[in-house]
Structure 1
Amino acid sequence: MDKHVLDQAEGLRRLLAREAPRLVALVGGDEQAGTSSAVINLAAALARQGKDVLVIDEHCDAKSLARAVGIETPRTIADVAAGMPLDEVAARYYERVRVLAAPPSAMVGVRPDDLLEALNDGVDVVLIDARLNADGALSPLAMQAHDVVVVMRANAQSITGAYACVKRLHFAHAIHQFRVLINGVTSASDAYGVYQNLTAVGSRYLAVSFSPAGAVSLDVRLARAALLGRSVVEAFPAAPATLDFRRIAVDLLHWPSRPADPAATRRTTTRPAPAPVASAV
């Protein structure tokens, strides 16, 4: 075949190739932050926007996201890394949403770049229900995320937990920019007060910056949907929490990626920063 035709074909192939998926890692400031709920509801909201979403569950325990939505699968991210097609490994949770288990043992010896290439199989957005290790570090895959979102609630305990989480991530990976998603807010001023509290302490003691990811209303239908093993987005389309998740999903697609951080080396000589004043407003 003529070389000119081959060059045209290659150019067309690149033009039609899908862009690499956007990676968003969500991590809870404490166990009650509602991270898994945020992940699965954001996934459903993104699917409503016509996006193909892959949810990666790094917890893989009795309280894992996959089990919460009724998915039992022996397959893990290690199978994808070994060459199995993503469609055969990931469990289908909802139209356009797949869930893939990623226990820490599955990441041993896996190159993140190779894994990212394997995950680029008809996926627009990857949402990682991230888990910190004993040193407060993210998994090799979550470290590649374009956005690191700290999930918290609008109460004093969660503010303290979110600050501790940010401090560990900052010292483990030298991350300087975070997004904050606040669950269970009763008003816009409630969310603003919590966000301002965390921002003031973080910028003063850690020299990190925050951007709002959004806030989710305190809504009893979140718990009802969870009991049904469904997202509130699909179970209660008109619920306040559903409208919030759909708004966040629209914004997420246009978030500017955080700037590249220095090499992820753990700091050992930095003086510990004090805990924030635990005030919800």
Structure 2
Amino acid sequence: MLNDGRAKKKHIMTIAVASGKGGVGKTNVVANLAIAMKKMGKNVLILDADLGLSNIDVLLQLAPEYNIQNVISGEMPLKDIIVTGPHGILILPATSGVQELTVLDEFQRLRLLEEFESFDEDIDVLLIDTAAGISDNVAFFCIAAQEIIIVTSPEPTAMTDAYALIKVLYTRYQEKAFSVLVNSVKSASEAKEVFKRLSTAADKFLNISLNYVGFIPFDEAVRMSVRNQRAFIDAYPNSNATKKIMDLAVTILSRTEPVVKGTIQFFFSNLLSTSSSEG
């Protein structure tokens, strides 16, 4: 057996959370899911990948001095712009109002990947909060992740756009595995009906099966927490929404190690691991 003095790399769970349209509560899901996982003993890093329109820091009332623009431009290393959020979750903040970051070129993507490669924090889960829609940036981060969770809602436009995103990722990038979370529903039966419609269309027209991971109910606690710039899991720990986000965290963390899908995703899945020489 080889012993080259290097520590074995740990497995990092990488999850892209995406939506076909804005306004379905995707970022709120990411923030609260991160805290739920942290409560379960996992070290979590959120990558705010809506690069031209930061949301996570606003939602959690953070005021980062630097952001991902400083990394992509080569001004600062990744570790120097990371901010700490509630319960010790780590956040890589995006920037607002910088149009050119909404479409990264190949050099900028390489720069970002290189920075991740040198990042040595002890991370168990990387949550990637993508921009809404079907841009090249969204596709890049989705294919880099081991798992893609599509957040949708009962609104017909949300379902239509969620299907459009799945279709693009399947037809252009050969992605075949998608999990679906239904947000802001009145009941479990409504959530399952939304998933059924989406799943039926994907099966019929794309010949792929979707995975249902649960739902977050419409809850006044969610609206109030957003207004107060707090995670609902903290502001309203006994709410129905909190119970469901905890269920989602359990569902995700209880899975066996996912299969690596391709080169970029293999890179992402390993680059955050802590690797050091033995003294």
TM range (shorter): 0.7 to 0.9
State the one-letter code of the partner of 1:260. Answer: K
Quick one: higher RCO (CA 8 Å, sep 6+), 1 or 2? 2
1:260 aligns with 2:261: yes
5+ long unaligned stretches in structure 2: 96-100, 266-279
Change (3 A) 1:210 1:115: farther
The residue that corresponds to 2:190 in the other structure is 190
The residue that corresponds to 2:98 in the other structure is none
Q: Which has the larger radius of gyration?
A: 1
The residue that corresponds to 2:180 in the other structure is 180
Q: Is the 8 A contact 1:76 1:106 kept in 2?
A: no
Shift of 1:68: 2.5
The residue that corresponds to 1:89 in the other structure is 81
State the one-letter code of the partner of 2:88. Answer: R
The residue that corresponds to 1:228 in the other structure is 228
After TM superposition, list the pairs within 5 Å mapping 1:153-164 onto structure 2. Answer: 153-164=153-164
Change (3 A) 1:200 1:261: farther
| TM-score between the two structures when normalised by the length of structure 2 | 0.79
Q: How many residues align?
A: 253
After TM superposition, list the pairs within 5 Å mapping 1:4-153 onto structure 2. Answer: 7=3, 10=5, 14=7, 19-61=10-52, 64-77=55-68, 84=77, 86=79, 88-102=80-94, 104=101, 108=105, 109=107, 110-111=109-110, 113-131=113-131, 135=135, 138=138, 140-153=140-153
Shift of 1:48: 0.8
State the one-letter code of the partner of 2:261. Answer: A
Worse overlay, 108-117 or 201-210:
108-117
Change (3 A) 1:98 1:243: same
Q: Distance in 2 between matches of 1:41 and 1:263?
A: 27
Q: Distance in 2 between matches of 1:47 and 1:89?
A: 20
Shift of 1:78: 5.8
Q: Is the 8 A contact 2:56 2:93 kept in 1?
A: no
State the one-letter code of the partner of 2:22. Answer: E
The CA deviation string for residues 162-186 of structure 1, in whole angstroms up to 9 with x for no partner, is 1112112223311111010110122
Q: Is the 8 A contact 1:136 1:169 kept in 2?
A: no
Worse overlay, 31-40 or 101-110:
101-110
Q: Is the 8 A contact 1:173 1:263 kept in 2?
A: no
Task: Supply the RMSD in Å over aligned alpha carbons.
Answer: 3.0
5+ long unaligned stretches in structure 1: 1-6, 265-281
% identity of equivalent residues: 22
Change (3 A) 1:30 1:105: closer
State the one-letter code of the partner of 1:52. Answer: N
What is the DSSP-based 3-state SS (H/G/I as helix, E as strand, rest coil) of the residue aligned with 1:57?
strand
